[in-house]
Amino acid sequence: MTEIAETQSAPATSFTTRFEIVPLVLFAAFAAAPLLATFSGAEGYVLSLLTRVMIFGIAAMALDLILGYGALVSFGHAAFLGLGAYTVGILASHGFEDALVQIPVALLASAVFALFTGAISLRTKGVYFIMITLAFGQMLYFLATSLAAYGGDDGMTLASRSLVAGTDWLENDFTFYWLCLVCLVGAYALSRSIVASRFGRVLRGTRENSVRMEAIGFQPFRFQLAAYVISGMMAGLAGCLLANQAEFVSPAFMTWQRSGELIFMVVLGGLGSLHGAIIGAAAFLLLEEFLPEILHASSFFLGEETRAHLAENWKMVFGPLLILIVLFVRGGIMGLLRRPHHG
Protein backbone atom coordinates (compact mmCIF):
# COMPACT_ATOMS: atom_id res chain seq x y z
CA MET A 1 0.00 0.00 0.00
CA THR A 2 2.84 2.33 0.88
CA GLU A 3 4.47 1.88 -2.52
CA ILE A 4 1.28 2.80 -4.30
CA ALA A 5 0.95 5.92 -2.23
CA GLU A 6 4.45 7.01 -3.06
CA THR A 7 4.43 6.22 -6.75
CA GLN A 8 1.16 8.07 -7.15
CA SER A 9 2.09 11.17 -5.23
CA ALA A 10 5.57 11.60 -6.71
CA PRO A 11 4.55 12.44 -10.29
CA ALA A 12 1.73 14.59 -8.95
CA THR A 13 4.13 17.02 -7.29
CA SER A 14 6.57 17.28 -10.19
CA PHE A 15 3.55 17.75 -12.42
CA THR A 16 2.47 20.87 -10.54
CA THR A 17 5.95 22.41 -10.49
CA ARG A 18 6.45 21.77 -14.18
CA PHE A 19 3.09 23.29 -14.82
CA GLU A 20 3.93 26.70 -13.46
CA ILE A 21 5.80 27.30 -16.73
CA VAL A 22 2.59 28.31 -18.49
CA PRO A 23 1.89 31.51 -16.52
CA LEU A 24 5.58 32.46 -16.72
CA VAL A 25 5.60 32.14 -20.50
CA LEU A 26 2.28 33.99 -20.65
CA PHE A 27 3.48 37.00 -18.66
CA ALA A 28 6.85 37.01 -20.45
CA ALA A 29 4.95 37.18 -23.73
CA PHE A 30 2.93 40.15 -22.49
CA ALA A 31 6.13 41.84 -21.32
CA ALA A 32 7.89 41.26 -24.65
CA ALA A 33 4.94 42.31 -26.80
CA PRO A 34 5.51 46.11 -26.68
CA LEU A 35 9.03 45.64 -28.04
CA LEU A 36 7.71 43.59 -30.92
CA ALA A 37 4.90 46.09 -31.41
CA THR A 38 7.47 48.78 -32.20
CA PHE A 39 8.71 46.71 -35.13
CA SER A 40 5.30 45.69 -36.39
CA GLY A 41 4.58 49.08 -37.90
CA ALA A 42 1.13 49.20 -36.34
CA GLU A 43 2.29 50.01 -32.84
CA GLY A 44 -0.84 51.79 -31.62
CA TYR A 45 -3.14 49.07 -32.89
CA VAL A 46 -1.16 46.18 -31.42
CA LEU A 47 -0.75 47.92 -28.08
CA SER A 48 -4.40 48.82 -27.72
CA LEU A 49 -5.52 45.31 -28.71
CA LEU A 50 -3.18 43.66 -26.19
CA THR A 51 -4.14 46.16 -23.49
CA ARG A 52 -7.76 45.14 -24.04
CA VAL A 53 -6.74 41.48 -23.81
CA MET A 54 -5.06 42.08 -20.46
CA ILE A 55 -8.00 44.04 -19.09
CA PHE A 56 -10.44 41.30 -20.02
CA GLY A 57 -7.90 38.85 -18.67
CA ILE A 58 -8.25 40.50 -15.25
CA ALA A 59 -12.04 40.40 -15.47
CA ALA A 60 -12.13 36.77 -16.62
CA MET A 61 -9.68 35.80 -13.89
CA ALA A 62 -11.88 37.53 -11.32
CA LEU A 63 -14.76 35.41 -12.55
CA ASP A 64 -12.63 32.26 -12.52
CA LEU A 65 -11.89 32.86 -8.86
CA ILE A 66 -15.55 32.27 -7.96
CA LEU A 67 -16.59 30.15 -10.95
CA GLY A 68 -13.61 27.85 -11.15
CA TYR A 69 -12.85 27.59 -7.44
CA GLY A 70 -16.26 28.18 -5.90
CA ALA A 71 -18.61 26.84 -8.61
CA LEU A 72 -20.56 30.10 -8.43
CA VAL A 73 -21.81 30.83 -11.95
CA SER A 74 -22.21 34.59 -11.86
CA PHE A 75 -24.03 35.71 -14.99
CA GLY A 76 -23.76 39.37 -14.05
CA HIS A 77 -20.06 39.96 -13.78
CA ALA A 78 -20.03 42.59 -16.52
CA ALA A 79 -21.90 44.78 -14.01
CA PHE A 80 -18.63 45.20 -12.13
CA LEU A 81 -16.81 46.14 -15.34
CA GLY A 82 -19.47 48.78 -15.89
CA LEU A 83 -19.36 49.92 -12.30
CA GLY A 84 -15.61 50.47 -12.47
CA ALA A 85 -15.86 52.23 -15.82
CA TYR A 86 -18.74 54.48 -14.75
CA THR A 87 -16.96 55.43 -11.55
CA VAL A 88 -14.06 56.70 -13.65
CA GLY A 89 -16.42 58.47 -16.08
CA ILE A 90 -18.67 60.07 -13.48
CA LEU A 91 -15.82 61.20 -11.24
CA ALA A 92 -13.94 62.61 -14.24
CA SER A 93 -16.99 64.58 -15.33
CA HIS A 94 -17.06 66.17 -11.87
CA GLY A 95 -13.41 67.09 -12.04
CA PHE A 96 -11.92 64.18 -10.08
CA GLU A 97 -9.56 62.98 -12.76
CA ASP A 98 -6.90 61.35 -10.64
CA ALA A 99 -6.66 57.56 -10.70
CA LEU A 100 -5.57 57.68 -7.06
CA VAL A 101 -9.09 58.87 -6.27
CA GLN A 102 -10.99 57.01 -8.99
CA ILE A 103 -9.61 53.53 -8.37
CA PRO A 104 -10.23 53.41 -4.59
CA VAL A 105 -13.76 54.75 -5.13
CA ALA A 106 -14.38 52.19 -7.89
CA LEU A 107 -13.11 49.36 -5.68
CA LEU A 108 -15.30 50.53 -2.84
CA ALA A 109 -18.36 50.82 -5.09
CA SER A 110 -17.75 47.33 -6.49
CA ALA A 111 -17.30 45.91 -3.00
CA VAL A 112 -20.54 47.46 -1.75
CA PHE A 113 -22.48 46.30 -4.81
CA ALA A 114 -20.98 42.79 -4.47
CA LEU A 115 -21.74 42.65 -0.77
CA PHE A 116 -25.34 43.69 -1.32
CA THR A 117 -26.11 41.53 -4.37
CA GLY A 118 -23.98 38.63 -3.11
CA ALA A 119 -25.73 38.52 0.25
CA ILE A 120 -29.01 38.06 -1.59
CA SER A 121 -27.99 35.85 -4.51
CA LEU A 122 -25.84 33.48 -2.44
CA ARG A 123 -28.96 32.39 -0.59
CA THR A 124 -29.94 30.62 -3.79
CA LYS A 125 -28.24 27.77 -5.61
CA GLY A 126 -27.69 26.56 -9.15
CA VAL A 127 -29.93 28.00 -11.85
CA TYR A 128 -31.49 30.45 -9.39
CA PHE A 129 -28.09 31.90 -8.56
CA ILE A 130 -27.38 32.34 -12.28
CA MET A 131 -30.73 34.06 -12.85
CA ILE A 132 -30.50 36.37 -9.85
CA THR A 133 -26.98 37.55 -10.70
CA LEU A 134 -28.20 38.14 -14.25
CA ALA A 135 -31.09 40.18 -12.87
CA PHE A 136 -28.79 42.35 -10.74
CA GLY A 137 -26.52 42.86 -13.73
CA GLN A 138 -29.44 43.96 -15.90
CA MET A 139 -30.65 46.23 -13.13
CA LEU A 140 -27.36 48.12 -13.22
CA TYR A 141 -27.42 48.14 -17.03
CA PHE A 142 -30.83 49.82 -17.13
CA LEU A 143 -29.76 52.22 -14.42
CA ALA A 144 -26.82 53.26 -16.63
CA THR A 145 -29.02 53.71 -19.70
CA SER A 146 -31.29 56.01 -17.71
CA LEU A 147 -28.46 58.25 -16.46
CA ALA A 148 -29.21 61.09 -18.88
CA ALA A 149 -26.68 63.35 -17.18
CA TYR A 150 -23.95 60.82 -17.98
CA GLY A 151 -24.84 60.07 -21.57
CA GLY A 152 -27.73 57.65 -21.04
CA ASP A 153 -27.88 55.08 -23.83
CA ASP A 154 -25.02 56.64 -25.75
CA GLY A 155 -22.50 56.65 -22.96
CA MET A 156 -19.96 59.39 -22.58
CA THR A 157 -16.52 60.16 -23.93
CA LEU A 158 -13.73 60.85 -21.45
CA ALA A 159 -11.81 64.08 -22.01
CA SER A 160 -8.57 62.28 -21.28
CA ARG A 161 -7.19 59.27 -19.49
CA SER A 162 -6.95 59.40 -15.71
CA LEU A 163 -4.13 61.38 -14.16
CA VAL A 164 -1.69 59.77 -11.79
CA ALA A 165 -0.90 62.07 -8.87
CA GLY A 166 -1.58 65.04 -11.14
CA THR A 167 0.58 63.92 -14.08
CA ASP A 168 -0.71 62.66 -17.41
CA TRP A 169 1.59 59.63 -17.68
CA LEU A 170 -1.18 57.36 -18.84
CA GLU A 171 -1.63 59.34 -22.06
CA ASN A 172 1.40 57.42 -23.27
CA ASP A 173 0.16 54.08 -24.67
CA PHE A 174 3.27 52.28 -23.48
CA THR A 175 2.94 53.51 -19.90
CA PHE A 176 -0.72 52.53 -19.89
CA TYR A 177 0.21 49.11 -21.26
CA TRP A 178 2.70 48.59 -18.44
CA LEU A 179 0.17 49.72 -15.87
CA CYS A 180 -2.31 47.13 -17.15
CA LEU A 181 0.38 44.44 -17.08
CA VAL A 182 1.25 45.35 -13.49
CA CYS A 183 -2.44 45.12 -12.56
CA LEU A 184 -2.75 41.78 -14.35
CA VAL A 185 0.28 40.27 -12.64
CA GLY A 186 -0.77 41.75 -9.29
CA ALA A 187 -4.29 40.36 -9.60
CA TYR A 188 -2.87 37.01 -10.64
CA ALA A 189 -0.45 36.85 -7.72
CA LEU A 190 -3.21 37.82 -5.29
CA SER A 191 -5.60 35.24 -6.73
CA ARG A 192 -2.95 32.52 -6.64
CA SER A 193 -2.29 33.30 -3.01
CA ILE A 194 -5.99 33.29 -2.14
CA VAL A 195 -6.59 29.97 -3.86
CA ALA A 196 -3.81 28.21 -1.93
CA SER A 197 -4.57 29.91 1.39
CA ARG A 198 -6.77 28.66 4.21
CA PHE A 199 -9.58 30.77 2.80
CA GLY A 200 -9.16 29.34 -0.69
CA ARG A 201 -9.13 25.82 0.63
CA VAL A 202 -12.49 26.35 2.31
CA LEU A 203 -13.83 27.82 -0.94
CA ARG A 204 -12.58 24.83 -2.93
CA GLY A 205 -13.95 22.44 -0.34
CA THR A 206 -17.35 24.08 -0.56
CA ARG A 207 -17.30 23.64 -4.32
CA GLU A 208 -16.80 19.91 -3.88
CA ASN A 209 -19.21 19.20 -1.04
CA SER A 210 -20.82 21.97 0.93
CA VAL A 211 -22.71 19.63 3.30
CA ARG A 212 -19.41 18.06 4.33
CA MET A 213 -17.97 21.53 4.94
CA GLU A 214 -20.88 22.38 7.22
CA ALA A 215 -20.45 19.07 9.00
CA ILE A 216 -16.89 20.01 9.96
CA GLY A 217 -17.95 23.41 11.21
CA PHE A 218 -17.67 25.89 8.32
CA GLN A 219 -20.41 28.26 7.25
CA PRO A 220 -19.97 28.23 3.45
CA PHE A 221 -22.03 31.39 2.94
CA ARG A 222 -19.47 33.66 4.63
CA PHE A 223 -16.63 32.34 2.52
CA GLN A 224 -18.59 32.48 -0.70
CA LEU A 225 -19.67 36.03 0.01
CA ALA A 226 -16.11 37.14 0.74
CA ALA A 227 -14.92 35.51 -2.48
CA TYR A 228 -17.72 37.19 -4.39
CA VAL A 229 -16.71 40.59 -3.02
CA ILE A 230 -13.03 40.05 -3.87
CA SER A 231 -13.96 38.91 -7.36
CA GLY A 232 -16.27 41.89 -7.83
CA MET A 233 -13.55 44.32 -6.78
CA MET A 234 -11.09 42.76 -9.19
CA ALA A 235 -13.58 43.05 -12.05
CA GLY A 236 -14.24 46.65 -10.93
CA LEU A 237 -10.53 47.39 -11.32
CA ALA A 238 -10.68 45.93 -14.83
CA GLY A 239 -13.59 48.31 -15.47
CA CYS A 240 -11.48 51.34 -14.46
CA LEU A 241 -8.78 50.25 -16.89
CA LEU A 242 -11.32 49.55 -19.64
CA ALA A 243 -12.74 53.07 -19.38
CA ASN A 244 -9.22 54.46 -19.75
CA GLN A 245 -8.35 52.15 -22.61
CA ALA A 246 -11.45 53.06 -24.59
CA GLU A 247 -11.51 56.66 -23.28
CA PHE A 248 -15.23 56.07 -23.40
CA VAL A 249 -17.87 54.70 -21.05
CA SER A 250 -21.18 53.19 -22.09
CA PRO A 251 -23.92 50.88 -20.82
CA ALA A 252 -22.73 48.39 -23.44
CA PHE A 253 -19.90 47.53 -21.01
CA MET A 254 -22.39 45.76 -18.80
CA THR A 255 -24.88 44.03 -21.03
CA TRP A 256 -25.69 40.44 -20.25
CA GLN A 257 -23.95 39.44 -23.49
CA ARG A 258 -20.74 40.80 -22.01
CA SER A 259 -21.30 38.74 -18.84
CA GLY A 260 -21.83 35.71 -21.06
CA GLU A 261 -18.61 36.45 -22.93
CA LEU A 262 -16.72 36.54 -19.64
CA ILE A 263 -18.08 33.09 -18.73
CA PHE A 264 -17.10 31.92 -22.19
CA MET A 265 -13.56 33.20 -21.80
CA VAL A 266 -13.19 31.32 -18.53
CA VAL A 267 -14.60 28.08 -19.93
CA LEU A 268 -12.62 28.45 -23.14
CA GLY A 269 -9.37 28.87 -21.25
CA GLY A 270 -10.14 26.16 -18.73
CA LEU A 271 -11.96 26.46 -15.42
CA GLY A 272 -10.06 26.78 -12.20
CA SER A 273 -6.49 27.59 -13.21
CA LEU A 274 -6.52 31.45 -13.20
CA HIS A 275 -4.00 31.81 -16.04
CA GLY A 276 -6.40 29.71 -18.11
CA ALA A 277 -8.88 32.57 -17.83
CA ILE A 278 -6.28 35.02 -19.17
CA ILE A 279 -5.49 32.67 -22.06
CA GLY A 280 -9.22 32.26 -22.67
CA ALA A 281 -9.71 36.03 -22.78
CA ALA A 282 -6.79 36.35 -25.20
CA ALA A 283 -8.08 33.56 -27.43
CA PHE A 284 -11.59 34.99 -27.45
CA LEU A 285 -10.60 38.58 -28.24
CA LEU A 286 -7.94 37.67 -30.79
CA LEU A 287 -10.28 35.28 -32.58
CA GLU A 288 -12.95 37.97 -32.59
CA GLU A 289 -10.42 40.38 -34.06
CA PHE A 290 -8.73 38.22 -36.64
CA LEU A 291 -11.28 35.57 -37.58
CA PRO A 292 -12.69 37.63 -40.50
CA GLU A 293 -9.21 37.92 -42.01
CA ILE A 294 -8.33 34.30 -41.29
CA LEU A 295 -11.55 33.21 -42.98
CA HIS A 296 -10.88 35.42 -45.96
CA ALA A 297 -7.35 34.13 -46.35
CA SER A 298 -8.13 30.45 -45.82
CA SER A 299 -11.02 30.36 -48.30
CA PHE A 300 -8.78 31.32 -51.26
CA PHE A 301 -10.26 28.49 -53.34
CA LEU A 302 -13.72 30.09 -53.26
CA GLY A 303 -15.04 32.93 -55.40
CA GLU A 304 -14.27 36.48 -54.37
CA GLU A 305 -17.91 37.22 -53.53
CA THR A 306 -18.28 34.13 -51.32
CA ARG A 307 -15.06 35.02 -49.54
CA ALA A 308 -16.33 38.49 -48.78
CA HIS A 309 -19.62 37.06 -47.47
CA LEU A 310 -17.74 34.60 -45.30
CA ALA A 311 -15.52 37.28 -43.82
CA GLU A 312 -18.50 39.50 -43.26
CA ASN A 313 -20.50 36.82 -41.44
CA TRP A 314 -17.54 35.56 -39.44
CA LYS A 315 -19.75 35.07 -36.39
CA MET A 316 -21.36 32.13 -38.19
CA VAL A 317 -18.01 30.40 -37.83
CA PHE A 318 -17.04 31.94 -34.48
CA GLY A 319 -20.03 30.50 -32.59
CA PRO A 320 -19.74 26.89 -33.78
CA LEU A 321 -15.97 27.07 -33.32
CA LEU A 322 -16.37 28.02 -29.65
CA ILE A 323 -18.96 25.28 -29.19
CA LEU A 324 -16.64 22.71 -30.75
CA ILE A 325 -13.78 23.75 -28.48
CA VAL A 326 -15.93 23.48 -25.37
CA LEU A 327 -17.42 20.15 -26.48
CA PHE A 328 -14.27 18.38 -27.56
CA VAL A 329 -11.51 19.98 -25.53
CA ARG A 330 -12.53 19.27 -21.98
CA GLY A 331 -10.79 21.62 -19.61
CA GLY A 332 -10.49 24.29 -22.31
CA ILE A 333 -7.18 25.44 -23.68
CA MET A 334 -5.46 24.63 -20.38
CA GLY A 335 -6.79 21.08 -20.71
CA LEU A 336 -5.14 20.92 -24.12
CA LEU A 337 -1.82 22.13 -22.71
CA ARG A 338 -2.08 19.74 -19.80
CA ARG A 339 -2.89 16.64 -21.81
CA PRO A 340 0.60 15.64 -23.07
CA HIS A 341 1.95 15.58 -19.50
CA HIS A 342 -0.54 12.93 -18.47
CA GLY A 343 0.62 10.29 -20.99
The minimum distance between CB 289 and another protein, in angstroms, equals 35
Residues 88 and 91: their CA atoms lie apart, in Å, by: 5
49, 226, 287, 310: residue in contact with another protein (rule CB under 8 A): 226
Quick one: 162 exposed, middle or buried, by C-beta within 10 A (0-12, 13-18, 19+)?
buried
123, 201, 315, 339: residue in contact with another protein (rule CB under 8 A): 201
Q: Which stretch binds another protein (CB under 8 A): 60-68, 75-83, 193-201, 322-330?
A: 193-201
Residues 96 and 339: their CA atoms lie apart, in Å, by: 50
Closest residue by Cα to residue 337 from 4, 23, 2: 23
Q: Which residues pair with 164 in a beta bridge?
A: 167
The minimum distance between CB 6 and another protein, in angstroms, equals 8
CB-wise, 10 or 31, nearer to another protein? 10
95, 126, 198, 305: residue in contact with another protein (rule CB under 8 A): 198
17, 159, 165, 208: residue in contact with another protein (rule CB under 8 A): 208
Q: If binding means CB under 8 A, how many residues of this protein chain bind another protein?
A: 32
- The contact mask relative to another protein for 9-28 (x = CB under 8 A, - = no) is x--x----------------
The minimum distance between CB 2 and another protein, in angstroms, equals 5
Residues 47 and 42: their CA atoms lie apart, in Å, by: 9
Please give the C-alpha separations between residue 231 and each of 210, 292, 314, in angstroms, as whole numbers. Answer: 20, 33, 32
Please give the C-alpha separations between residue 43 and each of 35, 50, 173, 177, 291, in angstroms, as whole numbers. Answer: 9, 11, 9, 12, 20
Residues 300 and 331: their CA atoms lie apart, in Å, by: 33
The minimum distance between CB 61 and another protein, in angstroms, equals 16
Evaluate whether 60 touches 280 at the Cβ level (below 8 Å).
Answer: yes
Q: Is residue 94 a contact residue for another protein (CB under 8 A)? A: no
Q: Is residue 212 a contact residue for another protein (CB under 8 A)? A: yes
Q: Is residue 8 a contact residue for another protein (CB under 8 A)? A: yes
Q: Is residue 7 a contact residue for another protein (CB under 8 A)? A: no
Q: Is residue 216 a contact residue for another protein (CB under 8 A)? A: yes
Evaluate whether 92 touches 102 at the Cβ level (below 8 Å).
Answer: yes
Q: Which residues bind another protein (CB under 8 A)?
A: 1-2, 4-5, 8-9, 12, 190, 193-194, 196-202, 204-205, 208-209, 211-219, 223, 226
